A and B are shown apart, each in its own frame.
Chain A
């Protein structure tokens, strides 16, 4: 299943672990992304980033490389790394549904990032399992059906 339901205590736990990851990896920011392309959480210096777009692209890139892995006889690649001139990005598969994106520069190393990612995977596993297996049952959300048009062209 590709849905997830996040309560406040889950969000607090996830944010806490992502901050732990940033402190221990030296990365500038971390995004927790569902394989369907949805952004679950983000921490660090993300104000300059289009994080929804980044999550969708990351999931797409990951899905594409999974097909490459299949052609090589692998189930999937658990780690992807792209090196830029100044900024780099590391993808780590935390569980069967979730990818951790870490954006970092030369103040740390990909080794440190991967080490911390491996450790945070274990720390996040219980809450990731919880949000993936919970189902929506809240009346407030169930009633969230608007009456008018949701979107319309901007009036000029």
Chain B
């Protein structure tokens, strides 16, 4: 949950990139880290296996000055996507303020996307959270591959809920859609803080 330090004029928010294995969560953070000016970012920390599969989490701190002289720190995390790392995903979700759900647009990942989305809801429920009460956006990644599911199909499988959320198409290695997704998620988190 977002925290406020009036003495240091800082707001801290946690955003978690979630999704099935190899969908592009880490690639999102890598692109953000490479592209954001040095003054706005910290180090990208990756706890990964020798084959660069996320083992525990990736972490990237970003900060920006918002209205009123407050510095808002966004702590971006990714979770490991492989199925057997569920216990670790639960740990990373603790205190989450916003979620970016990254979907792999390839046809043969359709079931994995849905499974990961359901897993997200289950893990949030263990903390007493409900997905509809947490700001989140969808990212349909790997749009450059062929063939990929059409956007309306991804919308049907992942965004067909009473509360529909913003969705962005992306090609994470090129950065397409990466910042649009990040900015939308960050603004939703700040808007939620305002509502509360």
Contacts and interface: CB of A to CB of B under 8 A. Distances in A.
Contacts of B118: none
B133 interface: no
Interface of B: 1-8, 11-12, 14, 32, 35-37, 40, 42-43, 45, 47, 56-57, 59, 61-62, 64, 66-68, 70, 72-75, 77, 87-88, 91-92, 94-95, 175, 179, 182-183, 186-187, 190-191, 193-194, 196
Interface of A: 1-8, 10-12, 34-38, 40, 50, 52-53, 56-57, 60, 63-64, 67, 136, 138, 140-146, 149-154
Nearest to A143: B67
Contacts of A152: 179
A27 to B, nearest CB: 22
A144 B66 contact: yes
A90 B191 CA distance: 38
Contacts of B196: 136
Contacts of A140: 68, 70
- In the A-B complex, the 5 residue pairs with the smallest Cβ-Cβ separation, listed nearest first, are A36-B95, A11-B7, A2-B95, A3-B1, A153-B35
B194 A150 contact: no
